[in-house]
Amino acid sequence: MSLIQAKTEVCPEPQTSTAVAFDVRWHVVVLNDPVNLMSYVVMVFRKVFGFPEVRARKHMLEVHEDGRSIVWTGEREQAEAYAHTLQQWHLMTIVVADEAY
């Protein structure tokens, strides 16, 4: 045995996780406000989302009666774009993660 014989220990590699959750869906939620007319809200939904009259009225009534309506669900970037567009039309709009709603 030599005097310079080094004792080597093998350290285990640290466990890392590279999984990323891409499947989180985001909701565009329109909130009720005392300012906009119901007909105006229907018109905005039709222009922004291309909803038919019946679907636009359904969402408008949810906003009016329940205080909120999820008008779109999908990826975060598109949800934020829709929310920004609706805010430009002066509708109170938020974006929430699916798990938070």
Q: Is residue 45 part of a domain?
A: yes
Buried b (16+ CB within 10 A) or exposed e, 25-50: ebbbbbebeeebeeeebbbbbeebbe
Position 8 in a domain: no
Q: Residue 46 belongs to a domain with what CATH number?
A: 3.30.1390.10
| Domain limits for position 77 | 26-100
Convert the pLDDT of each residue in 39-81 to its tens digit.
Answer: 999 999 999 999 999 999 999 999 999 999 999 999 999 999 9
pTM of this prediction? 0.76
Name 70's bridge partners.
29
Strands, sheet with 68-74, edge to edge from the N-terminal-most edge strand: 68-74, 26-31, 93-97
**Among 17-21, 36-40, 45-49, 89-93, which stretch is predicted with the lowest mean pLDDT?**
17-21
Mention every residue, 6+ apart, whose C-beta is less than 8 A from residue 52: 46
